Amino acid sequence: GIDRSILVENPSNYLDFISDMDEPQFLVEAAKRSGCGLLIDINNLYISSKNTGIDAVDYLKQIPAELVGEIHIAGHDPDPALG
């Protein structure tokens, strides 16, 4: 082994997609099965909520706190030309 913890980060979604599991369910299941932790990127979640309409609060409620190893809070600059 590499003797290091691995954290899987939630992605930014730019398009909506259909799957058997929603994203938080998938991340939780992947973490539980693999033993990794989760890195929750709040900016990625915000971008996904704007692009696909997901409920960011509901998303976070589905993530057990004990699986979260790190939280990123970063910003972005909207493009004024795109509204």
- The per-residue pLDDT for 76 is 74
> Tens digit of pLDDT for each residue in 12-26?
999 988 889 999 999
Q: How confident is the model at residue 82 (pLDDT cuts 50, 70, 90)?
A: confident
> Tens digit of pLDDT for each residue in 26-47?
999 999 999 999 999 999 999 9
- The per-residue pLDDT for 17 is 84
Query: Exposed, middle or buried by CB within 10 Å (0-12, 13-18, 19+), for 8?
Result: middle
How far the first Cα of the chain sits from its last, in Å, is 48
Q: How confident is the model at residue 83 (pLDDT cuts 50, 70, 90)?
A: low
With a cut of 80, say whether residue 1 has pLDDT above it. no
